[in-house]
Amino acid sequence: MTAQDAKQRVALITGVTGQDGAYLAEYLLGLGYTVHGIKRRSSSFNTARVDHLYEDPHTGNVPFLMHYGDMTDSTNLIRLVQQIRPTEIYNLAAQSHVAVSFESPEYTANADAIGVLRLLEAIRILGMEKETRFYQASTSELYGLVQEVPQRETTPFYPRSPYAAAKLYGYWITVNYREAYGMFASNGILFNHESPIRGETFVTRKITRAVARIETGLEQTLYLGNLDAKRDWGHAKDYVVGMHKILQADTPDDFVLATGETRSVREFVELAFKEVGGAIEWRGKGVDETGIDRKSGKTVVCIDPQYFRPTEVDLLIGDPSKAFKKLGWKAQTSLADLVKQMVAGDLEIARREIANGKHAV
Ligand code: NDP
Ligand code: GDR
C-alpha cells in the first residue's frame, strides 16, 4: 500500500470505545487511515480507552473523529454511513458479555443480530456495495457445545447463549449479503482475546484485577464461577491486525483467529497469582472449592454460584491455519506474556488508587 492509498482510506469502527475498537483505531491511524468511531451517548464519560487518540477537531483536519450512534437505530447508522462514506466498516459494537445476554436476551439480539443487518442495509440502501468493505466481529462462541476440536471454519456451530444465538444471525447475514449482493463482507471468527484494557467483568481481567488488589491489600477474596471452562486466550493487539488483514484479502471470506492453545480458568488463576510470587493450592470440590495462597496462607479464591451460566461452553481451541496460509496472520503474544502485562497494568491501577487515598481492607 502506498502512502497515497492510505490517505484515501476511511474506516468506520462501531464499538470504538471497547477493547478491540481502541486497539484497532490506534492501529489504523498508524497506517494513515482516517478513522471514524461510533460511541454511545452515556451520562458519564465512556471514552477512556480512546482519549489518547483524540485531537480537538477545531484545530483543523484531524484523523480521528467520533460520532454518537447506536446499533439499535437504523436512521442514525444510515446517516453516518452516508456522511462518512467509509471504504471499510469494522462492526465491533455489541452487548458482548455472554452471562449478561441471559439477563438481557432481547436487547442482545437487537444490538448483536439486527444491528448487523442495519449496517449491511445502510451500505445497500446507499448503493455503496462496491465501495465499502465490511468486517463482522464473529466469535468462537458460535461453536458452543463441542462438535469438533480444534474448531475451524468448517466446524458446525451450536450456540449456547442468547449472545451466541444473536452472533449466529450476524455471521449468516454477513455471508448472505456477500453472496446475494456481491458485497465484500467477511467474518472474523475470533477466539477470546484479552489485554490490560479488557472489560473488568470478563474472567481474565476480573482475575488479574483481583490479584493486584489482593497483593496491595485492597481486597481479600476473588469470587469466581466455573473454573473448569477452557479457553483459547490471545492478546487483543495481535487480533486487530488480523481484522485489518481480513479486509485487505483479494476476496471476502471467513477466518478463524486463535492461538491454537487452550487453558482452564483455574490455570489462568494460577498463572496470575504466580506473577506476584503467589502459589495457589486448591482444596475442596464443586461449589466448596477454594484456592489458598501458599505465600500468605490465606483463602484467596472462592466459588460463587451466581457466576455459573445456565448453559456453558466447556472447551474452545481454535485452528488458525487458514488465516496463516491465506493472510500470513499469526498470534504473536504468549499467554505468559499476556498475563504478565495484565497483572502489571492492574498493579499500577491499584497503587494509583492507594496513592489517591484508598485504604487497604
Ligand atoms: P467490548 O465489550 O469491550 O466493547 C463493545 C463495544 O460495543 C463498546 O464500545 C460498547 O460501547 C459498544 N456497544 C455496545 N452496545 C452498543 C450499541 N447498542 N450501539 C453502539 N455501540 C454499542 O467488546 P470487545 O472489544 O472485547 O469485542 C469487540 C467485538 O468483538 C464485540 O462484537 C464482541 O462481541 C466480539 N468478540 C470479542 C471477543 C473477545 O474475546 N474480546 C472474541 C470474539 C468476538 P460502550 O463502551 O458504551 O459500552
Ligand atoms: P466468554 O468470556 O464467555 O468466553 O466470552 P468470559 O471471560 O466472560 O468467560 C470465560 C469463561 O470463564 C468462566 N468464568 C467466569 N466468567 C466471568 N465473566 N466471570 C466469572 O466470575 C467467571 N468464573 C468463571 C465463564 O463461565 C466462561 O466459561 C468472551 C467475550 O469477549 C465474548 O464477547 C466473545 O465472543 C468470547 O469471549 C469469544
- In DSSP terms, which residues pair with 10 in a beta bridge? 34
Query: What ipTM does the predicted assembly reach?
Result: 0.99
Based on C-alpha coordinates, what's the Rg of the chain?
21
99 belongs to a structural domain: yes
- Based on the fold, state whether residues 36 and 87 are members of the same structural domain: yes
User: Which ligand gives the minimal distance to the CA of 229?
Assistant: 2
- Based on the fold, state whether residues 184 and 219 are members of the same structural domain: no
- Based on the fold, state whether residues 167 and 268 are members of the same structural domain: no
Sorted by sequence, the CB contacts under 8 Å of residue 101 that are 6+ apart come out as 95, 108, 161, 162, 163, 164, 166
- Based on the fold, state whether residues 224 and 293 are members of the same structural domain: yes
- Based on the fold, state whether residues 105 and 19 are members of the same structural domain: yes
* CATH number of the domain enclosing 307: 3.90.25.10
**Catalytic annotation present for 163:** yes
Catalytic, out of 163, 171, 177, 239? 163
pLDDT tens digits, the chain, 361 residues: what are they? 444 454 589 999 999 999 999 999 999 999 999 999 999 999 999 999 999 999 988 888 899 999 999 999 999 999 999 999 999 999 999 999 999 999 999 999 999 999 999 999 999 999 999 999 999 999 999 999 999 999 999 999 999 999 999 999 999 999 999 999 999 999 999 999 999 999 999 999 999 999 999 999 999 999 999 999 999 999 999 999 999 999 999 999 999 999 999 999 999 999 999 999 999 999 999 999 999 999 999 999 999 999 999 999 999 999 999 999 999 999 999 999 999 999 999 999 999 999 999 777 7
329 belongs to a structural domain: no
Range of the domain at 296: 203-230+264-312+335-355
Contact indicator for 261, 253 with CB cutoff of 8 Å: no
- Based on the fold, state whether residues 184 and 225 are members of the same structural domain: no
Asked which of 140, 159, 190 is the last residue of a domain, the reply is 190
- Based on the fold, state whether residues 219 and 273 are members of the same structural domain: yes
**Catalytic annotation present for 216:** no
Which residue's alpha carbon is nearest to atom 1 within ligand 2? 98
| Pairing relationship of beta strands 193-194 and 230-231 according to DSSP bridges | unpaired
Q: Please give the Cα distance from 309 to 285 (Å, whole number).
A: 18
Q: Report the pocket of ligand 1 as residue ranges, CB < 6 Å.
A: 14-15, 17-21, 38, 40, 42, 46, 70-72, 92-96, 111, 137, 139, 190, 192-193, 199
User: Which ligand gives the minimal distance to the CA of 160?
Assistant: 2
**Length of the chain measured in residues:** 361
147 belongs to a structural domain: yes
253 belongs to a structural domain: no
274 belongs to a structural domain: yes
* CATH number of the domain enclosing 116: 3.40.50.720
Query: Structural domain tally of the chain?
Result: 2
Which residue's alpha carbon is nearest to atom 23 within ligand 2? 225
- Based on the fold, state whether residues 24 and 140 are members of the same structural domain: yes
251 belongs to a structural domain: no
Q: Is the CB of 206 under 6 A from ligand 2?
A: yes
Nearest in space to 111 (alpha carbons), one of 167, 68, 67: 167
238 belongs to a structural domain: no
- Based on the fold, state whether residues 28 and 150 are members of the same structural domain: yes
Asked which of 158, 190, 222 is the last residue of a domain, the reply is 190
- Based on the fold, state whether residues 172 and 296 are members of the same structural domain: no
- Based on the fold, state whether residues 118 and 8 are members of the same structural domain: yes
Cα-flanking dihedrals φ and ψ of residue 183, to 5°?
Answer: -75, 150
- The pTM of this model reads 0.98
- Based on the fold, state whether residues 165 and 121 are members of the same structural domain: yes
Residue 98 cell numbers, joined:
455472554
